[in-house]
């Protein structure tokens, strides 16, 4: 039987560089927060979507009613949220998306799922930019095989999912040249302003 596809919205960062909760930021003119937008995207493809938060973190605006998974202590950064999901439901395939990627589209996620089905035994498959070819581990799929692999790296204090994907030669969905900005993230107010110029050019 095929493993169920679940969604995981990573929103557990402290947003210290942004100065406010990135998941609660409203981007664009529709009044929708980044959390709500990403949850809606994942909900189109996944049987169930979970919200990944750090211990004690309140639910961001737009994420009310979504089941929460708290970061595990075995790792740090986004990897702690990814591991928590793999521990919670180890037989699921997880479509992971960060809350600060405003330009990811349904089409990209559909193609990522198709790419996973072409290599179902791979521990993970990420989107990558046609500009640098580097995997984006926060717009990626993690399969049950990723659990033991990520635990092994965590035991060596290697917590960067991108570094792990590079070391393991993870397969990628390479975005087209005209999609280079789709993996642009928003970590700072300057990033937000730059993203706004792309979304709403003058």
In the chain, the domains with their CATH numbers are 5-199 (3.90.550.10)
pLDDT tens per residue across span 18-28: 455 677 777 66
Q: Which two tokens stand for residue 76?
A: 């740090």
Q: Which of 72, 114, 81, 109 is nearest to 183 (CA)?
A: 109
pLDDT over threshold 60, residue 87: yes
Tell me the average pLDDT across 110-120: 95
d(CA 32, CA 30): 5
d(CA 101, CA 138): 9
pLDDT over threshold 80, residue 42: yes
pTM (two decimals): 0.89
Tell me the average pLDDT across 88-106: 94
Q: How confident is the model at residue 102 (pLDDT cuts 50, 70, 90)?
A: confident
Listed in sequence order, the residues at least 6 apart from 180 whose beta carbon sits closer than 8 Å to its beta carbon are: 129, 130, 131
What percent of the chain has a predicted confidence (pLDDT) above 70?
85
């Amino acid at each position: 039987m095929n493993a169920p596809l679940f969604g995981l919205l990573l929103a557990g960062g402290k947003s210290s560089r942004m100065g406010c909760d990135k998941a609660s930021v409203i981007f664009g003119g529709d009044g929708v927060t980044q959390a709500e937008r990403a949850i809606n995207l994942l909900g189109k493809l996944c049987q169930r979507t979970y919200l990944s938060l750090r211990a004690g973190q309140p639910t961001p605006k737009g994420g009310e009613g979504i089941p929460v998974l708290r970061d595990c202590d075995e790792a740090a950064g986004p990897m702690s949220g990814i591991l928590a999901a793999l521990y919670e439901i180890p037989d699921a395939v997880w479509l992971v998306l960060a809350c600060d990627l405003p330009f990811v589209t349904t089409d990209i996620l559909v193609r990522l799922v198709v790419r996973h089905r072409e290599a179902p035994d791979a521990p993970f498959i990420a989107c990558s930019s046609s500009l640098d070819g580097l995997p984006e581990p926060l717009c990626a799929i993690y399969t049950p095989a990723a659990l033991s692999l990520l635990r092994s790296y965590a035991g060596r204090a290697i917590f960067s999912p991108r570094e792990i994907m590079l070391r393991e030669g993870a397969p990628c969905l390479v975005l087209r040249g005209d999609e280079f900005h789709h993996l642009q993230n928003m970590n700072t107010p300057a990033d937000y302003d730059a993203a706004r110029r792309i979304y709403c050019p003058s």
